Structure formats: C-alpha cells, structure tokens
Structure 1
Amino acid sequence: MERVLVAGANGTTGKQIVKLLKESQYFEPVAMVRKEAQMEQFKKDNIETVLGDLENDLSHTTKNIDKVLFAAGSGGKNVVGVDQEGAKNLIKQSSKDNVKKFVMLSSMGADEPEQAEELKDYLKAKHNADEYLKQSNLKYTIVRPGSLTNDKATGTISIAEKLNRRGEITRADVAQTLVRSLHDDAPVNQTFEILSGNTLIGEALDTINTHK
C-alpha cells in the first residue's frame, strides 16, 4: 500500500479524502494537521497523523511518503502564506524526498486570476502554486473544481481541461476525484476542471489524455 500524505486533513474536504484513503485497498493516509488538538479525531480511527505547519519546516512530513495530496487552504485568511507559499514549501520538500506523485486541489479560475471579479488574490495564489508545481520535477495532477457544496456524492462529474462554464460540485465528488487521481493510471502532468455531471469519475478521468 502506498502512503499518502494529506495536507489540510482537518478541512471539510480533507476529512472526506482521509476517510476514502482509509477505506481504500491501495492507499494508507497520513493526516497532516497544524495543531495537536486536531490529531485525536484521526488517532481514534487508527489513522497515522503528523504535525506540520505549511509556513514552517516540513522536512519531517514527507519521509517515507509515496504520494502527496494537497487539500489545504487558509479560507481566505492568509492566501499568500498558506495557499501559495505553503503549497510551494510542500512541493519543494516532496521533490527532495522523491515523492512519486503530487495531486493538487486547485480552483476553477486559477488559470486566469486577473479575469476574476471575486477572490482575485486567492486565485492568484492558487495560480502561482500550480505553476510552481508544473515546473517542479514531480509527477502531478492539478484538479480545478467549481464552487463546492456539501451535498451527497453522486459519483459522476463533468470534466475537461477547460469547461468554459461555471457551476458547482459536491465536496464528496471532489474528494473521490482527487483520490482517484493518485492512481498510477490516472492523468499525469495534467490540469483539468470538474463540475457536477453525468460521467462516472473513473471514466471521466480516462478521457483526459495521460500522454503529454
């Protein structure tokens, strides 16, 4: 089983990702949290946890880690420190420790932050983090969902490198897409957008060309 470090494990989407990884026969989650008080909930489910602050030294977090899933965010409070520089910090450390794949939870609009009417600073930070990942030596997948809802999973999505429309998608379906993107047969060195839709997640990912 591959050990997957989940940055942002304590977040709403992060918790769903950790649960999916725990249930998977392929992956073993390592939940990265910022505060000791956040560790207990994972420990009681026998989930390995590691304390790590994206703005500080992360050298201990990626040891013996096969893949990394970045689902952290500052909730608009510190977009440069966490969403941009924090992501870059973890990318750099993952690269040093020869992590096999880095899956990034990004956001629709991060390709053109200057076009945004709202959340411009956030999208700019996500854009800079995504570009840094693309230029690293890591294999990556960058997933850009629309607005997140807390509805139940549907197991189906719409997907394209550029969907050219706005919309919503459930956090549960985003979590499933991110976990599916960790697999070796999932898109590599690709960036794509997802919204709610009618195509099964596995089939949708197969439509993204994996050979660039």
Structure 2
Amino acid sequence: MNIVAIWGAGSGLGAVLVEHFHKMGFKVIAIVRNPDKNPRLKELGIETLVCDATEETQVKDVVEKLPLETQVISSMGSYRAAVPVDYIGHRYLIDALVERGLSRFLLVTSLGCSETWRYMSERSKAGFGAAVREKTLAEAWLQTSNLNYTIVRPGGLKDGVATGTGELSQHTEVHGLITRGEVARLIQNLLDTDESISQTFQCVDTSLTY
C-alpha cells in the first residue's frame, strides 16, 4: 500500500489532501499541531501524529516514526502567526527527512514565491507578502537539498471538489483561482511521475471566476 504523510492536516488544503488520498486507497498519516481542529481524522481512522513544526525536536521525533517508503506532502502555513511555520518549520522538516533517509517530498507554497514575486499586486504584497517571503525561503532550502522534491504553487484557493480542469504550468505569469479538491488531484498526479522531480509548478483553474 502506498503511504503518504501530510503535514498541516488540521485544516484547509491539508485536510482536503487527507480526504483525497484516503479515498484513493493510500495509507494516510496526518501530522497536525492540534488534532481537535479536524475531527474527520478520528472519523476516518487516520493515523495522526501531533507536532508543532516550529519545534525542531518534535519534527525529528515525528519523522523518525515515518516508514522509509513514505511520500511526504506539506501544506503547512501560518498567516500572521507569532512564530510563522512557513520557513522554519519546513527547514526543520527538510533537514529531518534528509537525515532519516526519506526522499520524496512535495511542498505546497503559493503564487508569488521566488521569481513570481514580481507578478504580485501591491495589495497582495501588503496583505500576504510576509508569508510569501517565508515560503520563498522554504523553497530555496528545499531546492538546495538532496530530496526528490516537487514544488506546487496554487493560485487563490477555494473550497470545492476536484474539477478536472486545473492547469499546471511553468515559467510563465499566471493568475487565478483553484479549488482545494483540484489541487489535491493535481498533487497526486505529480507524485505519480518521476518527471515532476526537481520541478516547480503553478496551478490555476481558468474556468473559475472571482
């Protein structure tokens, strides 16, 4: 059975990823700071590990519990948190995966990271710029590791199921929305192919409107 560990499984995209991969027959391991935020984990019988990813020791302890064949996905984020997890949490996680010998890692960040910063509006930079900069640092740390990584930068996230109309792109300016269910579908497709290793993708759904 394929095993996937999902960091940030308590809410948002992480919670949707849990539902998607469980439905697709994967053994899912959910990593959350507070399991009470997502009662579906208990309802579905999902193995759940508690971790504050801003604490390096906790991250190492959790990674030690993961089988070596585990595919790891992280959608961790913290908007305006006192201690943002976006960079430091992912730095601890990447280092722990390398040390443990797990190799396959997919990181979810956002449009606006790294070279796409110049495409962000001034309003977006003012509202979300700090988080995007943290995520950009996480991308750089990952890209200079020896992990078999893939980076996914979704557009604006909306609640909703997979539409089948999301589009992956690289090295071009894109703007738009996408449902969390569709991001989950695209992530599974990327994990299924070695061609996505060491690659960064953007994803939006042009059929959706603001």
Q: Secondary structure at the match of 2:60?
A: coil
Please name the residue that 1:90 is paired with.
93
Q: Match for 1:144: what amino acid?
A: R
Aligned to 2:166: 157
Tell whether 2:108 aligns with 1:100.
Answer: no
2:17 paired residue number: 17
Amino acid of the residue matched to residue 5 of structure 2?
A: L
Q: Which residue of 2 aligns with 1:174?
A: 183
Task: Determine whether 1:73 maps to 2:82.
Answer: no
Corresponding position of 2:62 = 61
Q: 1:111 aligns with which of 114, 118, 125?
A: 114
| Higher relative helix content | 2
Could you tell me how far 1:50 is from its partner in structure 2?
A: 0.3
Q: 1:36 to 1:20 in 2, by over 3 A?
A: closer
Aligned with 1:191: secondary structure? Answer: strand
Runs of 5+ consecutive residues of structure 1 not aligned to the other structure: 199-212
What is the deviation of 1:16? 1.1
SS in 1 for 2:188: helix
Which residue identity does 1:19 align to in structure 2?
Answer: E
Residue 71 of structure 1: how far off its partner (Å): 0.8
The whole-number CA distance in structure 2 between the counterparts of 1:122 and 1:186 is 29
Structure 2 length as normaliser, TM-score? 0.85
Tell me whether 46-55 or 159-168 shows the greater mean CA deviation.
159-168
Paired residues in the alignment total 196
The correspondence for 1:148, drawn from 140, 157, 163, is: 157
Structure 2 residue aligned with 1:210: none
Q: Which deviates more from structure 2 when the two are superposed, residues 62-71 or residues 129-138?
A: 62-71
Alignment correspondent of 1:49: 48
Provide the C-alpha distance between the structure 2 equivalents of 1:171 and 1:39, rounded to a whole number of angstroms: 16
CA contact (8 A) 1:50 1:61 kept: yes
Q: What is the CA–CA distance in structure 1 between the aligned matches of 2:204 and 2:116, rounded to whole Å? A: 19
**SS of residue paired to 1:112:** helix
Task: Tell me the CA shift for residue 24 of structure 1.
Answer: 1.9
Deviations 1:145-183 (A, max 9, x none): 111112342112222113313111111111211232222
Cα distance change on mapping 1:24 and 1:185 into 2, 3 Å:
farther
Structure 2, unpaired ranges of 5+:
none
| Equivalent residue letter for 1:22 | H
Identical positions, percent: 30
CA, structure 1 residues 163+51, in 2 after alignment: closer, same or farther (shift >3 Å)? same
Question: 1:90: Cα distance to partner?
Answer: 0.8
Give the CA deviation at 1:186.
5.1
Normalised to the residue count of structure 1, the TM-score between the two structures is 0.84
Q: What's the counterpart of residue 128 of structure 1? A: 137
- Distance in 2, matches of 1:93 and 1:77, equals 23
